[in-house]
Amino acid sequence: MNSQYYIAYGSNLNLRQMALRCPTATTVGTTELQGFDLLFRGHDGSAVATVEPGEGTVPVLVWQIEPRDERSLDRYEGWPSFYRKERMTIELGDQSVEAIIYLKNGGPLGQPGQDYFDSILEGYDNNGFDDTVLFEALDRSAPELGLDADW
C-alpha cells in the first residue's frame, strides 16, 4: 500500500462527504497552515476554496489516503487543470510530515455557492474549527456580501 497524507481545508473537511468520496481515507489529526490565507476563487456563485501564502492561519484536517482515494480526489478537484497538486511539509503533533494539497489554478476572487459554503461550514463544525477564518475568507473574496451576510 502506498498510503500518504492529504491536507484538507475546504469541502473535504466535511466528514460525511469524504466518507462517500474516499471510503478508505481516515483522519489522522488537525493542524494549521501558518502564513496562509483561505480564499474563494472563481466566478461568483461558483467560486471554490483555496489557500495562498499570506499573513493568516488556516485550520486543516489531515487524512491518510490510499491510491484509490487519491484518484477520487484527482477527479473531484479537476486535477491538473482546475486544481494542481503539490507536496507540503506540515507539523502534525510532534513530527513533521509530507502531505499532498490541492491548490486552485488562479481565477478571480469570487463568491462560493451556498451549498458549497455550507458543506465547508459543516466541516468546520465536524472538526471543532473556529469558523471566523471561513467567514473572513468570504469577506476577502466577496466583500460585497460583508461579514454580516446570512450564511
Residue-wise pLDDT for 28-41, tens only, equals 999 999 999 999 99
CA–CA separation, 116 and 100 (whole Å): 22
Q: Tell me which H or E stretch contains 118.
A: helix 114-126
- Give pLDDT tens digits for 75-113: 999 999 999 999 999 999 999 999 999 999 999 999 999
* pLDDT confidence bin for 64, thresholds 50/70/90: very high
Label residue 55 exposed, middle or buried (CB < 10 Å: 0-12, 13-18, 19+): exposed
Output the pLDDT for position 143: 83
Domain boundaries, the chain: 4-139
CATH code: domain 4-139 is: 3.10.490.10
- Read off the pLDDT of each residue in 2-11 and give the average, rounded to a whole number: 97
Identity at 10, one-letter amino acid code: G
Q: Alpha-carbon torsion 102, 105, 110, 111, what sign?
A: negative
For the whole prediction, is pTM greater than 0.85? Answer: yes
* DSSP SS3 for 106: coil
Share of the chain above pLDDT 90, in %: 93
pLDDT at 150 over 90: no
Strands 95-104 and 4-8: what pairing? parallel
Contact 128, 141 (CB under 8 A): no
Output the pLDDT for position 83: 98
